[in-house]
Structure 1
Amino acid sequence: MGAWSSGRIRASGARGRWVRFPQFPYRSRWTRAPPTQAKPLLDKCVEDTKAEAGCLYYGWTIKEDGSKLFCRETYVDGAAAGHHLSCVAKSGALGEALEKGYIALDNIDLMGTESDIADAKKVPEFEGFGLGSWTVWDSFQNFKQTSAEEASTADFFTIQPTFTIKDLKQAEPFMKKCVDLTRNEKGCMYYGWTIQGDKLFCREAYVDAAAVQAHLDNIVPSVGEMLDSGAASLDKIEFHGPKEGWPTFKKSADALGAIYWDRYASFSKFKM
């Protein structure tokens, strides 16, 4: 299991109400980095979403090799997530980027509680956009919503590991241990697990690169125990955030097979 078993990392989660779409609490992944023609439309998406009262953060990241575009976004609840989908349809900016072939949609998912997923599904755009859904198993949050953009959290990072579940009952004690361990990290914004079929996703965010390294120092052994037990296997692990922060945690992340995504444009409306 490599670095996961070397004593370098651990992770955790507890139940929270906020919804995310990987990531809107949607997860949205688009092929190709945005060409010059697409950037004004992507920028418009960011500006339009700033007006949504239920949005905690929103913005774009680009894979290090330039081949993929990802939207990181989180909303206070399922109703706010559904409202965002309606706003996207009304704006037309994203639709124009797709129709003109600047980008192509790979997938878009919503992550939240069962009740939040049900609320988001009330808007026709949920089905129209072809959203999948991931249900929260356990999570916690350490941030508060603000009414205006917050500079102190502008450079936040998300770690995005995906696992295949081999035996959920066997994995659950390790998952709970990860939640409990991470809960005490001062730089952790939120942490927790979501499940879709046999896939397990850890949604987690940190205020800066130093907090990412602190988490890796804390969590690797426990995740390694879960992997070594055979309860789950790691599919991939991604680090999304400002490129200038990567060197802070790169040695530890590289040992895990990290895939890096640089921030393109974003805003945050939350504080620790």
Structure 2
Amino acid sequence: MSETLSHAVSLHPYFKIREGNLAAFTALMPAFVAKTATEPACLYYDFSRHGDMAFCREAYVGAEGVLAHLGNVGELLAKFLELADLARLEVHGPAAEIEKLRGPLADLKPEFYIRETGLENPLG
């Protein structure tokens, strides 16, 4: 596994969009993507939706990448949370990186998952 992926941390936030807010919520998604595109530690970032549930699939190099991202999109996230509830937040990664996030993310009440095993399958 590459050095980058061995430190990768993925976030899995699920948002329950409140009634009447779907259009406003989805209209903010491109702004999140544009801000996140400036982050060198971002490995991938995208949104998907099922009815009134939205999901953001995202990963970063290390806990520092996660914290930098949250600082970068903080104002947008506050707007999201005016339109939706954070229904669930999972954080997946190696134990050392997860430990760095437990304190800073405590207010979001995430579920932390420690990576046990896996593989990297490079395309090139």
Q: Which amino acid in the other structure matches residue 119 of structure 2?
A: F
Q: Which residue of 1 aligns with 2:109?
A: 257
1:204 aligns with: 58
Among candidates 75, 80, 84, match of residue 221 of structure 1: 75
Deviations 1:6-50 (A, max 9, x none): xxxxxxxxxxxxxxxxxxxxxxxxxxxxxxxxxxxxxxxxxxxxx
TM-score calculated relative to the size of structure 2: 0.87
**Following the alignment from structure 2 to structure 1, what is the Cα–Cα distance between the partners of residues 51 and 45?**
20
Name the SS of the counterpart of 1:248 in structure 2: helix
Question: Structure 1 residue 241 and structure 2 residue 93: aligned?
Answer: yes
Please, which of 159, 162, 168 is the counterpart of residue 14 of structure 2?
162
**Which of 250, 262, 266 is equivalent to 2:118?**
266
TM-score, normalized by length of structure 1?
Answer: 0.42
2:45 to 179, 191, 194: 191
Greater gyration radius: 1
Spell out, residue by residue over 1:96-148, the C-alpha distance to the aligned partner (whole angstroms, 9 max, x if none).
xxxxxxxxxxxxxxxxxxxxxxxxxxxxxxxxxxxxxxxxxxxxxxxxxxxxx
User: Which structure 1 segments of 5+ residues have no match?
Assistant: 1-148
The answer to whether the 8 Å contact 1:157/1:240 transfers is yes
Amino acid at match of 2:87: D
Gaps of 5+ in 2: none
RMSD across aligned C-alpha pairs, in angstroms? 1.8
Separation in structure 1 between the aligned mates of residue 90 and residue 107 of structure 2, nearest angstrom: 12
Name which structure has the greater RCO, CA cutoff 8 Å, separation 6+. Answer: 2
Letter in 2 for 1:235: A
For residue 160 of structure 1, give the secondary structure of its aligned residue in structure 2. strand
Distance of 2:89 and 2:16 partners within structure 1: 12
Task: Confirm or deny: 8 A CA contact 1:182 1:191 kept in the other structure.
Answer: yes
Cα separation, 2, equivalents of 1:252 and 1:173: 28
CA contact (8 A) 1:193 1:203 kept: yes
The count of corresponding residues between Structure 1 and Structure 2 is 121
Tell me the SS of whatever aligns to 2:116. Answer: strand
Alignment of 1:79-98 (within 5 A): none
CA distance in 2 between counterparts of 1:176 and 1:233 reads 19
Distance in 1 between residues matched to 2:102 and 2:91, nearest whole Å: 10
